[in-house]
Amino acid sequence: MKKRDAELRDELKSHLDMAITDRIARGESPEEAVAAARRQFGNLSQIQEATRDVWGRRWLEHLAQDVRYALRTFRRNRAFALVAILSLTLGIGANTALFEVVDAVRLRSLPIADPGGLLEVRLASMDGARGAFHTPHESVTQPIWRELQARQQAFTLFAWSRASFNLAEGGEARPADGLWVSGEFFNALGLRPARGRLLSPEDDRTGCAPRAVLGYGFWQRHYGGDTSIVGRTINIRNRPIEIAGVAPPDFHGLEVGRTFDIALPLCAEAVLSVNGKGRSEAGTTWWLMTFGRLKPGWTLDRATAHLAAISPEIFRTSLPAGYPAISVEKYLAMKFIAEPGGQGLSQLREAYETPLWLLLGIAGLVLVIACANLANLLLARATAREREISVRLGLGASRGRVIRQLLTESLLLVTIGTICAVFLAGAMGRWLVAALETSNRTITLPLIINWRVLGFAVLLAVATCLLFGLAPAIRATGVSAASVLRVTTRGASAGRESVALRRGLVVVQIALSVALLFGSLLFTRTLRNVLSVDPGFRAEGLVVAEIDSARMRLESDRLVAHNDLISERVRSIPGVQGAATVAVVPISGNTGGNDVWPETNTSARFNTYVNFVGAGYFRMLGIPLIAGRDFDARDKPDSVAVVIVNEAFAAKLGGASAAIGQRITREQTPRNPAKTYEVVGVVKNSTYLALKDDPYPTMNYAGTQDQPYPDMQLMVRSSLPPTATTSAITAALANIDSRINVDYTIVPTMIRDTLVQERVLAALSAGFGALAAVLTMVGLYGLVAYSVTRRSTEIGVRMALGARGSDILRLILRETAFLLAIGVGVGVGLAIAGGHTASSLLFRVRPYDPITLLASIALLAAVAFGASYLPARRATRIEPVVALRTD
Amino acid sequence: MSTYMAKRERYQNRIELLQGTLDLLVLQTLQWGPQHGYGIAQAIQAGSSDVLQVDTGSLYPALHRLEKQKWISATWKLSANKQRTRVYRLTAAGRRQLASERSRWQTLVDAMAGILARPQESQS
């Protein structure tokens, strides 16, 4: 390119030289000849331009020229370039990171063959389902699955469920993430093994000798990717299981956010269970999710009609004996539907989809604020470069060409910022995912920079560039060349229009900041409100031990003594202050519930949570007894069945003292007939499921009146650190029998883990809110400083005429107050609209909470006046003489 | 390119060249042998008895355009007074192009002449 330019220049020069030589030869004087030849020749650079046009690489050349020029400008204004790139990197990076996570949990399809063709076949409603539920998602029982499988013809169908497999042989548990899968699972998903083979329908026969498929990550982690793994055995639930193969690397199951270590066929559930029957026979254990692909020749409409047609038959034949009469009709009316399932299921998605979109929106607004700042910076620079630009316009550059050049600068900033942002986004996304993890929930969420994420980043970059670059560029080139060149006074050419634009940008910043600060205050208050909820018991020092003695195969009479021995040994550990059995650990997420009514008044039926607790449970937790007595030695399996209820329950019976002695009937359940209990005690309300819940009726059965189970949950209060407590318990259990398995939950950690959403929202929104405030501060500072410079003559005159410093201060701050008033006016509207959107995520604070709103306005006003004060002070120190002389 | 000429009009007797006409004149001039840009301009001017003034701002874009079409080729040569000049020569494709351009031009001239030579009786 350069060589060609030089050659063209040489060629044109030779032309001119020859013309001059000819003229001299014709007798003109050298001076005349040069002048005349030049005149005839015309404008050298214009000819060059016109000729280069013919070469046809003009835009590329212009771009290269513009980029070179922009880089030179950045080198001269390092601070500007650095601030711009940094804020773009942070702004675009935060947005891309959030989008990456949204993409991973919401938008992306499963890494399987033809994810679009995968359908979920699920119950339209779980209304008629009674019994035990192993997943929050719609699920079916084993008998329903068998009927569905036998009767449907439209799908290649499979069932699966999540599981936890203990790999330890006695002692403390080593849980692995597991999957139960029916025979068609891997085949229908179109997966190929990384090693060995995957499970097939032959592996899933009742009474099978189970074979395992390992997850790729587990194979790498635990076996170092050992290639001789196929055919070896792994101990699962104390049973050696042959390894059939390894699943492909990117397959993590159908649950987004979770992975699996080991997959076993459904038939293994019964084989590995303590009683050898497992959940298979129970028509009241809801645990299987069913997915499938349409067989050739079937359409979704036909398949849906088919499912509707076979549903009544499925539920008639699968109705378990002794199903609660009140629910039979609803059970028989249940119906299967088919829905797209290519994105899998995700508890993560259900819990965090709304907060993630909200955070993405917040991050977007912060980016807009950052853009406004950059636009302001560019406008300021454009004012400073007014002369340069008007000279270039005057020398014949077209306005479009100059705009293109100014936009190239913006584009270059954005390009550099976006490249940095994409790298930053990966780290930020991983950090966000890690922040959502809890002690018992590891999140496996591959964050991939795919075309969607990249497209989002590029789109953001282009929008950003236009947002902050275009207006200043158009503004800058709008000045007439003559006016600028004629007027020599500093700053006089900066028209009112430019100032209005800059003020507008600052108003936008203020408005958005008010909304963002309001949002972050709402979430912070929500977190504080949840944290300050009194659960009604003391959580510190509490540890739950899940103790499983199933391998000892004790008869129930010996089991009672065995469990008592365990409790006794644990209580005698130094530092342990108490231990009591409990069926449902509060705030663990597990629940049990039934309808109850006073024995003589069936119409006063109401719903209650239920629990089984041992003697001393309430005392140990610090839940005060209000009336009656605690469970004690009187409560034997054959004595009168008793319950202790909470205040909310007692309120239904006419208050605490009235409740004592009343007889309460619990409805028939799938496993038990209706039964009547006597209320012997009332305790204060305490949290059962979630800190956010209002008090709800709760009924506690006496643990000693329950049938003994080989697996018991022991709640332990100890003054030792949790790890010391757990290792002491493990040692005590090993002393009793080496076949006892145990797993622990630290209660304070468990409770803290339930507040991840509130924590993340509060932290991120506060971060974004603070960022917004800082950016607005910078924007306002820049504007006021500029305005002081622009009005220095006016201020000088005023001071010369006797204005005092405080008058000038007021003059300058009045502008801030004006902008603040407009910005806050708009911002309050935005804030209330935003609060309304987020209302489902708030706790004990109204989405339009006036005090919070006032606080955010006050906060921003402080920021605004703080930002304006410095330049305003500078204005008061202007020397009238100096200010007037500069003109 | 001709619009440039119009704007920078300085000679009363100059005739504005039609688009594409300059290309034909350049090809025609090069038919008599290799020549540099200045020489081509001079030849056209002299050949038209100074009626046609070739604007440098049109000539060089035209030369580079013809070169891009591969109708002419260029080499650097030393001129008589030891000056480095870029000399253009007609290629075989250029010769064919010249022939077809010439016949098209002839058709145009005949057509124009036919119209212009008609008696102007309708005017009176």
Please give, one letter per residue, the 3-state secondary structure of A403-416. Answer: HHHHHHHHHHHHHH
Residues A46, B55: C-beta atoms closer than 8 Å? no
Across the beta sheet with B72-78, what order do the strands follow?
B35-36, B84-90, B72-78
Say which of B41, B57, B79 has its CB closest to residue A47. B57
Backbone angles phi, psi at A400, to 5 degrees: -60, -40
Q: What percent of chain A has pLDDT over 70?
A: 96
At how many degrees (to 10) do helices A44-55 and A2-25 cross?
Answer: 130
Residues B83, A18: C-beta atoms closer than 8 Å? yes
B-chain residue closest to A41, CA distance: B56
Between chain A and chain B, the number of residue pairs with CB atoms below 8 A apart is 63
Give chain B positions within 8 Å (CB) of A18: 36, 38-39, 79, 83, 85
A-chain residue closest to B61, CA distance: A51
Residues A18, B36: C-beta atoms closer than 8 Å? yes
Helix (H, G, I), strand (E, B) or coil at A35: helix
Mean pLDDT per 10-residue segment, chain B (124 residues): 39 53 89 90 86 84 88 86 86 91 88 82 48
Distance separating alpha carbons of residues A141 and A285, to the nearest angstrom = 5
Tokens of A270: 């019964």
Mean pLDDT of A441-449: 84
State how far residue A460 is from chain B, nearest Cα, in angstroms. 41
Say which of B39, B60, B83 has its CB closest to residue A47. B60
ipTM of the complex: 0.81
Give chain A positions within 8 Å (CB) of B61: 47, 50-51, 53-54
B-chain residue closest to A19, CA distance: B38
Give chain A positions within 8 Å (CB) of B42: 22
Strands (E) across A75-197 are located at 118-123, 132-133, 155-166, 171-172, 175-181, 195-196
Q: Is the pLDDT of residue A206 over 90?
A: no
Nearest to A236 by CA among A203, A208, A271: A271
Say which of B38, B79, B84 has its CB closest to residue A19. B38
Say which of A7, A42, A54 has its CB closest to residue B61. A54
What was the pLDDT predicted at A590?
A: 87
At how many degrees (to 10) do helices A850-876 and A805-837 cross?
Answer: 150
Distance separating alpha carbons of residues A339 and A291, to the nearest angstrom = 9
Tokens of A544: 């739950």
CA distances to A62, A242, B69, B75 from B95, in Å: 35, 85, 12, 18
Say which of A10, A50, A53 has its CB closest to residue B84. A10
Nearest to A786 by CA among A438, A450, A554, A503: A503
Helix (H, G, I), strand (E, B) or coil at A333: coil
Residues A7, B8: C-beta atoms closer than 8 Å? no
Backbone angles phi, psi at B73, to 5 degrees: -125, 160
For the stretch A99-111, pLDDT in tens is: 999 999 888 889 8
Q: Among B38, B53, B70, pick the best mutation site for testing chain A contact (most A Cβ within 10 A).
A: B38
Nearest to A755 by CA among A467, A578, A531: A531
Residues 6+ apart with CB under 8 A from B7: none
For chain B, what's the residue count? 124
Backbone angles phi, psi at A245, to 5 degrees: 180, -175
Q: How many CB atoms are closer than 10 A to CB A560?
A: 15
For the stretch A571-594, pLDDT in tens is: 999 999 999 999 999 999 888 889
Nearest to A33 by CA among A12, A15, A19, A14: A19
Distance separating alpha carbons of residues A785 and A799, to the nearest angstrom = 18
Give chain B positions within 8 Å (CB) of A53: 61
Mean pLDDT of A610-633: 94
B-chain residue closest to A14, CA distance: B85
Distance separating alpha carbons of residues B53 and B44, to the nearest angstrom = 8
A-chain residue closest to B56, CA distance: A41
Nearest to A49 by CA among A389, A406, A395: A395
| A155-166 and A289-294 beta bridge pairing | antiparallel
Residues B60, A12: C-beta atoms closer than 8 Å? yes
Interface of A with B (CB under 8 A): 7-8, 10-12, 14-15, 17-19, 21-22, 39-43, 46-47, 50-51, 53-56
Give chain B positions within 8 Å (CB) of A21: 81
Helix (H, G, I), strand (E, B) or coil at A165: strand
What was the pLDDT predicted at A730?
A: 95
> Residue A804's pLDDT band (boundaries 50, 70, 90)?
confident
What was the pLDDT predicted at A53?
A: 75
Distance separating alpha carbons of residues A241 and A269, to the nearest angstrom = 13
Distance separating alpha carbons of residues A769 and B65, to the nearest angstrom = 60
State how far residue A9 is from chain B, nearest Cα, in angstroms. 11
Say which of A7, A17, A53 has its CB closest to residue B61. A53
Mean pLDDT of A78-85: 85
Residues B41 and A41: beta-carbon distance below 8 Å: no
Give chain B positions within 8 Å (CB) of A7: 86
Residues A55, B64: C-beta atoms closer than 8 Å? yes
Cα four-point dihedral sign A831, A833, A838, A843: positive
Residues 6+ apart with CB under 8 A from B104: none
B-chain residue closest to A50, CA distance: B61
Tokens of A52: 């280069």
Mean pLDDT of A807-833: 92
Please compute, for residue B57, the number of CA atoms within 13 A of its CA located in the half-sphere on the CB side: 21
Distance separating alpha carbons of residues A39 and A61, to the nearest angstrom = 29
The alpha-carbon radius of gyration of chain A (Å, integer) is 38
State how far residue A47 is from chain B, nearest Cα, in angstroms. 5
For the stretch A162-198, pLDDT in tens is: 999 999 888 888 999 999 999 999 999 999 999 999 9
Distance separating alpha carbons of residues A680 and A636, to the nearest angstrom = 14
State how far residue A389 is from chain B, nearest Cα, in angstroms. 25
Residues A14, B36: C-beta atoms closer than 8 Å? yes
Report the DSSP beta bridge partners of residue A234.
A241
State how far residue A476 is from chain B, nearest Cα, in angstroms. 29
Report the DSSP beta bridge partners of residue A535.
none
Residues A42, B55: C-beta atoms closer than 8 Å? yes
Say which of B8, B36, B86 has its CB closest to residue A42. B8
A694, amino acid identity = D
Q: How many CB atoms are closer than 10 A to CB A520?
A: 26
The answer for A554, left when phi > 0, alpha when psi is -120 to 50, beta otherwise, is beta
Nearest to A695 by CA among A754, A648, A735, A654: A648
Average pLDDT over all residues of chain A: 89
Residues A12, B56: C-beta atoms closer than 8 Å? yes
Strands (E) across A425-532 are located at none
Give chain A positions within 8 Å (CB) of B83: 14, 17-18
For the stretch A9-27, pLDDT in tens is: 888 888 888 888 888 988 8
What was the pLDDT predicted at B5?
A: 40
Looking at beta carbons, which pairs linking A574-578 to residues 24 or more positions away fall under 8 Å? Answer: A574/A728, A575/A718, A575/A719, A575/A720, A575/A724, A575/A725, A575/A728, A576/A716, A576/A717, A576/A718, A576/A720, A576/A725, A576/A728, A577/A541, A577/A620, A577/A717, A577/A718, A577/A719, A578/A616, A578/A619, A578/A620, A578/A716, A578/A717
> Residue A766's pLDDT band (boundaries 50, 70, 90)?
very high
> Residue A480's pLDDT band (boundaries 50, 70, 90)?
low
Interface of B with A (CB under 8 A): 1, 4, 8, 10, 36-39, 41-42, 55-58, 60-61, 64-65, 68, 79, 81, 83-86
Q: How many CB atoms are closer than 10 A to CB A181?
A: 27
Give chain B positions within 8 Å (CB) of A50: 1, 4, 57-58, 60-61
Tokens of A317: 């034949």
What was the pLDDT predicted at A57?
A: 63
